[in-house]
Chains A and B, each alone.
Chain A
Amino acid sequence: MITLQWVYALAGAAFAAFALLGLRDRSNPRRFRNALFWGLMAASMWAGDRFGDFGNGLLVLALVAIGGIGLGRGTQGEVAPELRTERAARHGNRLFLIALVIPATALLGTLLFGHLPALVDGKQVTLISLALGVLLALGVGHGLLRAPAALPLEQGRRLMDQVGWAAILPQMLASLGAVFALAGVGEAVGGVIRLGIPAGSLFGAVAAFGLGMAIFTMVMGNAFAAFPVMFAAIGMPLLVTAYHGNPPAIAAIGMLAGFCGTLMTPMAANFNLVPAALLELRDEYGVIRRQFGTALPLLAVNILLLYGLAFR
């Protein structure tokens, strides 16, 4: 049976390749640090189950230490713009078609493999289908574009170094959620917030969750960081446990309420301040000002969607 372990083996191989190929990038002064970082990720994917809990904890501490002092990035492997333009003219919309192979396979696989429990682990069909989609897209891409076989890995390595330590941020935040759950953070915050919500008011709880996501996101500049906090505080104890809401709907729409907050905060500099500088606006908050009119009604819509869809 194909299980998630197969996907971890594939991901481990990808991280190992990123680590080894990066060592050849002499334009990156910190290439050894990068190689160690991605090498640890490869080790985690391949052998994480054998390290034990404390061993995995030490691995995380090492990743945090390396990421904390900073990774580097080089310039090796960049393709000349003229060559890309020429290739774009030659291949046209086929490029989008190849990209479409991944979500199409993930979607079809999820629907199809659910009926084949003997072949594929039913609990993880989407992730397994996603990995299959990546392999298919590489195959189709190789056939249609006639690219050298080593090119995808080398280009993938280049993009990985550009993402840097931020690549493990979602996994770190999901893990932080476990510590929050263990320490009873949800109960503690829920206790405080329940003081402010009328007792037994479902709409009050939903509104507090949506507004809380947006406000925490505005303060921190990052909806990903706000999510474990608000889910522990209101999402889990009130919306899921007390009101029996639908967990995926609560999580997904709550995250989008957070994205509304991202549109309204200078803390999300990448999206809001950097473009203002890039476009040479005199008002560095010019982009945020234009976004308020979309973000506020959309936040209200998200709260209503949550109220109307998640509790049926």
Chain B
Amino acid sequence: MSTHDPDEALQRLLQRTLSEMPPRRAPATLELRVFSELQRRAALPWWRCSFMHWPAPARVAFLVICGALVATMFLGSGAAVAGLSSLLESGSPSLFWARQIGVLMVSAGNLMALLARTLPLTWLYQGIAVCAVLYAVLFGLGAAVYRTLYLHQPLNGK
């Protein structure tokens, strides 16, 4: 029964046993799933396929447009900012909403700065600690739910 080196004997035995094993039979649904997915992909319009499957003219046009957009952003961003600033300063009534948003953001920033200056540092640390604990608890609950409901579910009726 036993040989000189049990590890080696076990290795040889398993190698012999496992190499003789027939492959598992693929589920009957696999073929159907593959061809259904191929049909679904074939039915997609070209612009919803990956870029490499686009027609060559569309790919060229897309690259040209992207290049033009990037160039426009670089060249025109400075001018656009200057133009917007002058418009806001001119007090045009049509840009009232933009001014309000700007004021709101500045106020929010000021509030945050004020809180950072006035709140004790320990409160800040305690707040961070509470957030970390809540994150860990939620992560743990998620893991427990995953292991309970998903990981141990029966596999294809087995």
Decide whether A and B assemble into one complex. Answer: no
